[in-house]
Amino acid sequence: IAGITQAPTSQILAAGRRMTLRCTQDMRHNAMYWYRQDLGLGLRLIHYSNTAGTTGKGEVPDGYSVSRANTDDFPLTLASAVPSQTSVYFCASSGYPTDTQYFGPGTRLTVL
């Protein structure tokens, strides 16, 4: 069992380009989340999905979009990347019975 996988591991991107970060889980968890981690700020929630077909906005959603077409996948898209989106991005999932969130390995994104 892999748990949660994220791709790519790291990426350097030119400002203005479109980028999709991929996240896949094999634990059949209902809920999935995207966080960004910035130095000195901890992790902040970008978007979440409580179940396939539904999504919601977190604390810092501007400039990001998500979709949840099925239980396993939860991609995060930056439509037009800006340097302030340089960060480490973590995907997480949680499910019954503990609802504890488990994290993927993260994607380091640099926008130049």
| Residue 42 in the binding site for another protein (CB under 8 A) | yes
From the list 17-25, 60-68, 70-78, 96-104, the region that binds another protein by CB under 8 A is 96-104
Say if residues 67 and 47 touch (Cβ distance below 8 Å). Answer: no
Nearer to another protein, 58 or 75 (CB): 58
What count of other Cβ atoms lies within 10 Å of the Cβ of residue 109?
A: 21
The pair of three-digit structure tokens given for residue 45, joined into one six-digit string: 């929630």
Task: Choose among 89, 87, 92, 36: nearest CA to 60.
Answer: 36
Q: What phi and psi, each to the nearest 5 degrees, are found at residue 106?
A: 90, 155
From the list 11-19, 62-70, 79-87, 94-102, the region that binds another protein by CB under 8 A is 94-102
The correct pick among 11, 44, 65, 86 for binding another protein (CB under 8 A) is 44
| Residue 89 in the binding site for another protein (CB under 8 A) | no
Nearer to another protein, 48 or 64 (CB): 48
Q: Give me the residues paired with residue 78 across strands.
A: 19, 64
Q: Would you call the peptide bond into 8 cis, given omega within 30 degrees of 0 as the criterion?
A: yes
Q: Which residues bind another protein (CB under 8 A)?
A: 31, 33, 35, 40-45, 48, 50, 56, 58-59, 88, 90, 92, 94, 98-103, 105-106, 108
